[in-house]
Every structure is written in structure tokens, then in C-alpha cells.
Amino acid sequence: MATKLEKTLKREIDIDGKPYMVAISPEGVKVTQKGFRRGPELTWRSIISGEAEMSQQLKSSVEESGGE
């Protein structure tokens, strides 16, 4: 049986030699560079609905076309 997620869990990961903190909470997931406060954050609802994926695809499309 799985344990309910009732409080934030924090774990450190290494990406390209830089430490990042991953916070998994009942609200969603947030990744920040260690020592910083701001970073990308996704709600569970946006992940499940596909909104997060559509947003990423749109961003990639705009970057490929040379837009801002």
C-alpha cells in the first residue's frame, strides 16, 4: 500500500554538475537550483490534464522559429 503525500519531500539531484533541489508536495513538483528560491513549478492538475506538456511544446516551437 502506498503512503499518502501529506507534506513536502525534498531531494537533491545533480544535473550537468550543478546541484538542484526537487520538492514534491501535495500541490505539485518544484525544481530549484540549490541555494536559490525560484524555479519551475508544476501542479499535479496541469501534469494530469496535459497542460504542462502543451506548454512545453509551445515553448519549444517558439524557440525553434526564432521568436521570443
Counting as low any pLDDT under 50, the low residues of the chain are none
How do the domains of the chain map onto residue ranges? Answer: 9-63
pLDDT value for 7: 97
Measured CA distances, 12 to 27, 30, 40, 47, 67 (Å): 19, 12, 15, 22, 33
| pLDDT digit string, tens, across residues 9-21 | 999 999 999 999 9
pLDDT value for 67: 58
